[in-house]
């Protein structure tokens, strides 16, 4: 793989590890972030830093971004001192989760400045970002995607190109996160009910994970973060609320009714509004525990019950 000069804007919890993966592969990476602490961490690892997205996009032909919201993505891409004002950028890769509307608007704005856009949101959490095992779904300019595919492979294990229409990957991502949120909310309610009835949570999870109720929440997040009460999966409640909301907004525009998704958004919104929107998403169970008057606590279930679900094969 040819070594490239790259820029990475947004090097926080997810973007920082991804930028370091690119640097570890031998690429020359320049980083930009509004948080001095995030930049200091990368500078300590030898990554060069700059002050604005425009400056980053003036030093690299390919610019990655990983940012927290649609508004921030639009501003970084198209705003004052944004990537569109860069002198060197020719390919923009958005690894945020911002919805299809933002992906289409940014792609159109950058296209007018001669910059091709690829939306490439990720799934796999902080651990996946650090290990380079993320699932990455991508869409947009096919030639640009083919150019950045070797770079995506530095960060992801399963890479899916879902279409050349900007925003399709964002749709795939919010659908995926809706299912992840639904599994978490429903599993928390079910396990709290079982514990209230007198079941041992470890025993109950072993039953669930050996049967048809098994999902990523019961197989991975419960044994890893809820039973030991560490609540350290690394994904914030407010971000899950944002992702579920983006899914519902798109569904409404498409004329698709989503009753269950609305209930999941209400629960995520309630949790995010309780004064701790930056808490780990697994802490959502605390509200249900409080209402039921129980606590779900214990060691990880034994044997295969604690093993994560196998990942499906991808197309690279």
Task: Name the DSSP letter for residue 83.
Answer: G
3-state secondary structure 9-72: ECCCCCHHHHHHHHHHCCCEEEEECCCHHHHHHHHCCCCEECCCHHHHHCCCCEEEECCCCHHH
Give 59's Cβ-side CA count (13 Å radius): 19
User: 3, 173, 196, 286: which one is catalytic?
Assistant: 173
Nearest Cα to Cα of residue 59 among 4, 119, 121: 4
CA distance 142 to 148: 10
242 is catalytic: no
**Backbone torsion region of residue 262, taken as left when φ is above 0, otherwise alpha when ψ lies between -120 and 50, otherwise beta:** alpha
Would you please indicate which residues are annotated as catalytic (active-site) residues? 173
């Amino acid at each position: 793989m040819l070594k490239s000069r790259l820029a990475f804007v947004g090097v926080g919890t997810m973007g920082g590890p991804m930028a370091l993966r690119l640097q570890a592969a031998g690429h020359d990476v320049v980083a930009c972030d509004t948080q001095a602490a995030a930049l200091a961490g990368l500078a300590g690892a030898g990554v060069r830093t700059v002050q604005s997205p425009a400056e980053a996009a003036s030093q690299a032909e390919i610019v990655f971004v990983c940012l927290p919201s649609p508004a921030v993505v639009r501003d970084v891409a198209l705003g004052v001192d944004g990537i569109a004002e860069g002198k060197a950028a020719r390919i923009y890769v958005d690894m945020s989760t911002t919805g299809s509307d933002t992906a289409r608007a940014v792609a159109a704005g950058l296209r007018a400045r001669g910059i091709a856009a690829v939306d490439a949101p990720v799934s796999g959490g902080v651990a996946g970002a650090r290990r380079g095992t993320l699932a990455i779904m991508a869409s947009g300019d096919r030639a640009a995607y083919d150019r950045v595919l070797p770079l995506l492979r530095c960060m992801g294990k399963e890479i899916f190109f879902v279409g050349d229409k900007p925003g399709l990957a964002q749709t795939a991502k919010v659908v995926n996160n809706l299912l992840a949120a639904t599994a978490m909310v429903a599993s928390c309610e079910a396990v709290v009910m079982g514990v209230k009835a007198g079941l041992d949570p470890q025993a109950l999870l072993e039953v669930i994970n050996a049967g048809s109720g098994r999902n990523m929440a019961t197989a991975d997040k419960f044994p890893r973060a809820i039973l030991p009460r560490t609540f350290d999966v690394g994904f914030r409640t407010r971000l899950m609320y944002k992702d579920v909301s983006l899914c519902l907004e798109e569904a409404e525009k498409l004329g698709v009714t989503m009753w269950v998704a609305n209930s999941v958004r209400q629960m995520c919104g309630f949790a995010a509004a309780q004064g701790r929107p930056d808490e780990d998403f697994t802490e959502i169970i605390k509200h249900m525990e409080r209402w039921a008057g129980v606590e779900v606590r214990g060691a990880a279930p034994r044997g295969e019950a604690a093993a994560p679900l196998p990942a499906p094969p991808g197309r690279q």
